[in-house]
Structure formats: C-alpha cells, structure tokens
A and B are shown apart, each in its own frame.
Chain A
Amino acid sequence: MSFHEPKLLAVCKKQYAYKLKTNLGIFFSLMIVQLLALLLSLNGSASMGAGSSSMVINLKLISGDIIIVFTLIWAFIIGNTVAGNACRLDFSFVSTRLTSNLASVCLLATAALVGGITATLSGVLLRLLVYWFQDVYTNNSLYLAPLTLLSGSYVTALYAFLLSVLGYFFGMLTQRNKALTIVIPVLFLGSLFIEARRAGEVQLLTTIFVFFVRETSMLLFSMKVVCAAALLFATVILFTNRMEVRR
C-alpha cells in the first residue's frame, strides 16, 4: 500500500500528454479529411443559375461549408476512436476512470480547437485557389474580416467539440455493451425515417438540430454547447465509474 496519493490534476495532465501522443494520428486524418473536402469544394458548395434561350449562367458559390461538415464528421469519429482507445490503453499507469475521462475530454477539446481553426483556414485557402484559377463573378465578397474569421473558427471549434463529445459518449456506450454498436445506428436511422414521415409534427432530432443552429447569440450558443457537452460527459462519468479496468 502506497502512502503517496497523486493529485487529480497532475494525473490528468500526465494522462492527457500520454493520450495526445497515442492519438496523434487523429490530426493526420484531420488533414486528409480537410484536403479531400477542399478538393470537393473547388467546384462550389452550392450553385444558382439563370438563363434565356441563348445564354445560361451557372453561378457556383464558394464557401468552406463542405470542409466544415467533413471536419464535424471527423470530430464525431475521433470522439468514438478516443473512447475505444481509452478503454484499451488507459491503465498503463496509475489512474482512475475519472482522470481518464477528464484527460479524454481535454484531448477532444484540443482536437476540436485544431479542427476549428484549420477548417476555417482551409476555407481561406479554398477562396484563394478559386480566386487565382477560376473565373470569378465578383471579388466583393472575397474579403473576410479578421474578426469574422476568428468567430468562424471559434464556432466551428465549438461544434466540433460538441460532436466529438457526442462521439465519445456513443463510444463509451458501445464499450459498455457491444450490442449498442448496432442498436444506436438502427435507432438513429429509424428515428430519421419516422421523422421524415411525420412532417409537420414535433421532431426530436430536428428540434435538437435547430436548438444549436438557429441560435443567434454567440454567448448563448457557447453556453448551450458547454452545457450539452457537460451533460454528456457527466453521463459518461456516471456509467463508466464502475467499469472494469480493461475489457
């Protein structure tokens, strides 16, 4: 029996550094995902057109939307991956489930921050490439104020963080019971189909989506994301607290 009781913060810090090293591949995959999205965005993320019998104008709209969507999908995946790794690799040194979860959430926050910044900067790169190599209708909307860029990065990072925590939550659920690997996607797809058939009625997934996406105050949005992430995280702590050391 040891009389030395390590402090929670110190263990978390150590474990965070360890997790960052073991999960460094997620940043490599982020790069691949963003470059792929950049290539797909070169042809425009939306388009609009007008025409007469002699002329058709097809205006393609350039924005970083596809890059952001891909980054959010990546965030969900890494949440899931980190959860899987957490259950396999965490107990290489003295730690508890709580420190492991705290370190994981710090890792996800770091990944979300990097994802948010790089997604927005990739959008800037996209604008520049299109400006250089394509026929541009107008340059007036090319410019992005630095503050706009900053807020874009911040919001993308928050969305990425929320989705990564959601991915972590599902990852932990499936670690607890492998049957959930099938049950959760089936439930998700099933509810999508049911909601699609019940147009006009109260729809849970759409309501959750609108709850975040329609928020126009950045402060409230930040609070919503932090609260939702905290709720998911607290649930994870509660049900993983009594999990075995290695499954």
Chain B
Amino acid sequence: MNNLGILIVWPSILILLGIFSGIARTARVSFRQTRITVSLYLAVLLIFTGAFYLVADAKEAASAQDIQVAEAEAEAMQLQFYAALEKGRLSKLEGIQINGYWNFTYYDDVLYLTTAADQYFEPLVAIERKEINDGKIDVTSYTTSLKFKGDLLGNSPSVRRIDNKLELTNAAQFEMVAFAFTKDWTMQQFSDSSNNWHWNMSSLLGAQAVVIQVPKDLQVEVEVEQGLNLVP
C-alpha cells in the first residue's frame, strides 16, 4: 500500500470505527427481539446460499469454459477480422456485424479522404474497387459484437460527403458497465489461484473497420496522413 493509500484508508477506517461504535452502543433491543431478528437473518442467508448453489451449479455444468477460453475466442475473432479485412472478405466473415452503412453518388475523378478537425479516426479503413464505374460510393462500418453482452454493438462512426471529400468521424463514445466475480481475499489467501486479475480487457473491445467501395477508376487520395489508418 502506498503512502497516500495509508493516509486515506486508515483515517477512513477510524471514522467508520466511530460510526460502528455508535451503532454498537445504541443498538439496545430486547433479548427476544434480537434472537428473532438474528435467527431470521441467518435463515435468509442460508436460504440464499442454497439458491446460490442451485444457480451456480447449473451455470458450472452449462459452461465448462473458463474466462481465459472466452478471451482466447475474442482474440481469435480479432485476428480473423484483420485477416479477412486484408483479403477483402470481411463481409463473408462469420459473426461479423454491420453497424453503419452510407452511400453517395459521385462522378468526379478524385476523392479525398479526410477526418473531422484534428481527429485521429480509430477504425481501420479499407478501400475496395468495384469492377464497374457505377458512380456510387458505398461505405460500410463492420464490427465484432461484444459477446458478453449478447449481440450488443458499439456506436457507428459517422461518414459524410463534403464536395469532393469524404469525412470520417469517430463514433460517439459508448460506455458500458459489466460485472464479474472474484473470490473474497480471505478465500484467496490460501488458494493457489489467488490472483485472478488477469483479464485482457483490450481483447474485449473487439475490432472495427470501415470499408469504402469506390467505382473502378476513381482515384482516392488521403488528405490527412496521420489522421487515419489505411489498410494497404
């Protein structure tokens, strides 16, 4: 524990001591009332412990995977995502989700890619050429879904055309709260698997990419060199 921790935690504990001391001294109830209340409390705890084992046993039987396997799957999905993106087969990847689609009519010879002012556009950007000159630009945003929240998808980026520029803007930040269980420290002290803080959070964020399909002969220029990550 660092010094600041000691200076904050211990005085807080002393304040709690004072509060609990007050509770302990003022909790004057009759013998009978206390006995009934405490017995009820114990009974409730025991009933819930029974319910817990019914639920947890079922979960344990249904899912033999452990947390590392789930994460390995997430990481494998990320790798598959990038491989498919490089081969131009992202739309065929199993489990891939589309969280945004835009199309624009465009007949100029050159298209400039740009990002919103001074912004680094985070999803990878891939440019695919169509086999015909149909005068249309199709933009699709692909993402992997967050498996632990069902098929929940992150927000999509926004894409808009300004004259001969295609402006890409990052999605509005999406904040998600999830819960996970760890053992109590009194259980961890004598357990071999004492440290279960090993989760690789970044693998949970998944992968996101924007694929821009352009007419066969359209020349595409990147206006902001450092502003986006173009897949070769």
Interface residues of A (CB under 8 A from B): 21, 24-29, 31-33, 44, 46, 48-65, 68, 70, 73-74, 76-78, 80-81, 118, 120-125, 127-128, 130-131, 134-144, 146, 148-149, 151-152, 155-156, 159, 185, 189, 192-193, 195-197, 199, 206, 213, 215-218, 221
A50 touching B201 in the complex, CB below 8 Å, given contacts A68-B185, A118-B42: yes
Specify which chain B residues have a CB less than 8 angstroms from the CB of A139 in the assembled complex: 59, 63
Taking a contact as CB atoms under 8 Å apart, the answer to whether B182 and A61 are in contact is yes
Stretch binding the partner chain, chosen from B102-110, B129-137, B187-195: B187-195
| Cβ 8 A contact of A25, one of B10, B24, B63, B178 | B24
- Shortest Cβ distance from residue A218 to the other chain B in the assembled complex, whole angstroms: 5
Interface flag for B231 (CB, 8 Å): no
**A127 with B181: CB separation less than 8 A:** yes
B149 at the A interface (CB under 8 A): yes
Distance A44 CA – B123 CA, assembled complex (angstroms): 31
Cβ B178 vs Cβ A57 within 8 A? yes
Is B84 positioned at the interface, with any CB of A under 8 Å from its CB? no
Pairwise interchain contact A128-B201, C-beta atoms closer than 8 A: no
B133 CB to nearest chain A CB (Å): 33
Whether the pair A138, B49 counts as a contact (CB closer than 8 A) is: no
**Chain A contacts for B171, CB-based, 8 A:** 53-55
Residues of A within 8 A of B117 (CB): none
| Interface contact A124-B185, CB-CB below 8 Å | no
Question: Contact between A64 and B184 (Cβ–Cβ < 8 Å)?
Answer: yes
Q: Which residue of B lies closest to A33 (CB)?
A: B20
User: Are B24 and A197 in contact, with the CB atoms below 8 A?
Assistant: no
Residues from chain A with Cβ under 8 Å of B201 in the complex: 48-50, 57, 59
> B208–A54 contact, CB under 8 A?
yes
Find chain B residues with CB under 8 A from A64 CB.
184
Q: How many A-B residue pairs have CB under 8 A?
A: 244
Residue of chain B at shortest CB distance from A129: B48
Q: How far is the CB of A17 from chain B (nearest CB, A)?
A: 12
Chain B: CB-nearest residue to A158: B186
CB-based nearest B residue for A64? B184
Stretch at the interface among B65-73, B75-83, B86-94, B218-226: B65-73
Contact A143 B57 (CB under 8 A): yes
Q: A54-B173, A144-B56, A196-B3 are in contact. Are A155 and B190 (CB under 8 A)?
A: yes
Whether B49 and A121, one on each chain, are in contact in the complex, defined by CB atoms closer than 8 angstroms, is: yes
Give every chain A residue within 8 A of B2 (Cβ-Cβ).
199
Contact B177 A58 (CB under 8 A): yes
Known pairs A33-B20, A136-B181; list 20 more (Cβ under 8 Å): A25-B27, A27-B34, A28-B34, A50-B202, A51-B173, A58-B177, A59-B179, A59-B199, A63-B181, A135-B149, A135-B177, A138-B148, A140-B59, A140-B63, A140-B67, A144-B183, A192-B7, A195-B6, A196-B6, A213-B189
List of 3 A-B pairs having minimum Cβ-Cβ separation, nearest first: A50-B201, A54-B171, A137-B178
Does B46 sit at the interface, judged by CB under 8 A? Answer: yes
- Contact A24 B31, beta carbon cutoff 8 Å: yes
Instruction: State in angstroms the CA–CA spacing of A211 and B118 once bound together.
Output: 54
Closest to B11 in A: A189
B173 and A55 contact, CB distance less than 8 A: yes
Contact of B35 among A24, A49, A120, A221 (CB under 8 A): A24
A85 to chain B, nearest CB (A): 10
Alpha-carbon distance between A151 and B55 when the two chains are bound, in angstroms: 21
Residue in A57, A121, A215 whose CB lies within 8 Å of B46? A121
Interchain CA distance A44-B6 in the complex, whole Å: 21
Q: Say how far B38's CB is from chain A's closest CB, in angstroms.
A: 5
* Closest chain A residue to B64, Cβ basis: A140
Contacts of B27 in A (CB 8 A): 25-26, 28-29, 32
Minimal Cβ-Cβ distance residue in B for A24: B34
Most buried by B among A60, A62, A192, A213: A192
